[in-house]
Structure 1
Amino acid sequence: MSREVKRVPVDFVWPLDQRWQGYLTPDHLLPDSCPDCEHGLSPSGEYLFDLWHGKIPFHPAVTGSTLLTPATPQVRALAELHIAQAPDYYGADEFAICREAARLGALFNSMWCHHLAQEDVDALVAAGRLTELTHDRGAGGGWQPKDPPAALTAEQVNAWSLRGMGHDSMNARVVIKARCVREGVAYACATCGGDGHVEAYPGQRAEAKAWRPTEPPAGDGWQLWESVTEGAPITPVFETADDLVAHLVAEEGFRPGAAKTLVEQGRTAGSICTAGGAVLHSALDADVINAVGADRKKGIG
């Protein structure tokens, strides 16, 4: 969880662990849900969205895909992983693996996202959405196009979708929009224009776009905030930096060096990082991270 030291008035009062009101969009600027759609899509788009996620009946034959079985390698491998991770829940014998594989196969067969047609794959490639399959990691860590270029098949992509994270919501949108275009039907909801929301009053959208968050009042006090949400104070306000450091050590479990480094630097980036080959907490280990960074600048280590 990110941490940030804020300078606020010594008498500043705001409940601890409660998001600062200035970071929250005012209620009067929140739009209404669209009355004619759920996801900003046309009726045809909403239907395809439900097919993608298996919310309505789907069969792989519709896209020319192969029906998955408990013996399909990706299904079997995932079932074995589930059994290994929770044997007390699933059981640990071959019957348990087969039962879980049957459950997974039936689940995956009910979802369009695991049974794309070639046109769907082509749309994803054209949109640059299958980098993991069309590119290789370069020497510097960046993605480089495969040479020769990858010619992905629906079978390859459907097998990939069963591994790791698979398709995300952006992939779903790309495929759904491409199919709507091919079939000559509207993609976005005509009422909300694809936004999924409508104005509660004329001009609300423009007002919401113009709105900007406001910081808490500035002052001479010292207070630690978390910034993983919109932002909220997590310590009382102290008159001096040393008082905040003493509180972090006495009440929050910080080492003196880490507390002093955090307050001096004013913020952390993220919650967990690696430095010197170790996994470190960006706030509780701020002094260690700072030392490693200083050594790297000097060319040490």
Structure 2
Amino acid sequence: MGREVRRVPLDFDWPLNKVWKGFLCPYRSAHCVACGGTGLNPATKQISDDFYGLAKPKRRWVNAITQDEVQALVDEDRLGAFTHTFVQGQYVKKDPPYVPTAREVNAWSRQGLGHDTVNQHILVRTRAKRLGVYGLCEVCTGEGELWPDDDTRKKAEAWEPEPPPPGVGWQLWETVSEGSPISPVFATSNELVDWLCANGYTRRGAVELCEVGSAPSGILKVYGTPKKPVNLNEN
């Protein structure tokens, strides 16, 4: 989501563009420096870092996976472009089952988006296990974060966000972050509509936003109702 309308008190004075305090958990963990937040031991982390090879391109292996690694992806149903076929509007698993070669998969990964982070995780684990080095970070035990104590962790797990107080006012909020107000508080929806129009919205889009309450970037989508999505830039 990108924008939403909230009903708040007319005297609600939380600073604009500042995340509402009730949306920020006060109980925090620290990033595990030892593993860079990956939760992996040094040898496994190196294999993971080398996958895309952003720091060391010569060590990149995203387009050079082996046949056992291909099999790991097939076992996790991650190579549908090879293992499935499109029949009557849906993807159906090939019969008999097909396992592509490493050469096929490596060629495929060079041509398009290739492997995502899920595939990366599977491939890194498979390669690290084959090399006998797979393991988790000994400092954070694989969590990628460190808590000051168990009590703080429990409080964080039990914590729930608290929305701003309800009221009769109308205000626009962004939801790209945890959530913060980005407009003044108005006494009526018409005033908010006028403000939205003065800030780039069409009147139709502004009215729809106030009626429905939320909108992603560029498109107003109504969740839970059959109403057709409305382009906010459409007159």
TM-score range, shorter chain: 0.7 to 0.9
CA distance 1:253–1:44, shift in 2 (3 Å): closer
CA distance 1:218–1:197, shift in 2 (3 Å): same
State the TM-score, normalized to the length of structure 2. 0.84
Equivalenced residue count is 227
Higher helix share: 1
Q: Deviations over 1:263-300 (max 9, x none)?
A: 112222453489xxxxx974344xx7xxxxxxxxxxxx
CA distance 1:211–1:282, shift in 2 (3 Å): farther
Partner residue in 2 for 1:228:
176
State the TM-score, normalized to the length of structure 1. 0.67
Letter in 1 for 2:207: K
CA distance 1:247–1:24, shift in 2 (3 Å): same
1:187 aligns with 2:138: no
Shift in Å, 1:45: 0.7
1:196 aligns with 2:144: yes
Partner residue in 1 for 2:41:
42
144, 153, 165: which one aligns with 1:217: 165
Shift in Å, 1:128: 1.9
Whether the 8 Å contact between 2:204 and 2:232 is mirrored in structure 1 is no
- Alignment gaps of 5+ in structure 2: 222-228
CA distance 1:51–1:264, shift in 2 (3 Å): closer
Partner residue in 2 for 1:54:
53
Shift in Å, 1:240: 1.2
Whether the 8 Å contact between 1:16 and 1:233 is mirrored in structure 2 is yes
Cα separation, 2, equivalents of 1:34 and 1:50: 16
CA distance 1:56–1:220, shift in 2 (3 Å): closer
Partner residue in 1 for 2:218:
271
Cα separation, 1, equivalents of 2:128 and 2:39: 14
Shift in Å, 1:185: 3.6
Partner residue in 1 for 2:225:
none
The two structures, once aligned, show a CA RMSD in angstroms of 2.6
Cα separation, 2, equivalents of 1:2 and 1:281: 14
Cα separation, 1, equivalents of 2:69 and 2:208: 52
Whether the 8 Å contact between 1:9 and 1:218 is mirrored in structure 2 is yes
Whether the 8 Å contact between 1:259 and 1:284 is mirrored in structure 2 is no
Cα separation, 2, equivalents of 1:52 and 1:35: 20
Shift in Å, 1:174: 0.8
Cα separation, 1, equivalents of 2:52 and 2:61: 7
Cα separation, 2, equivalents of 1:51 and 1:254: 45
Partner residue in 2 for 1:208:
156
Identity %: 40
Letter in 2 for 1:9: P
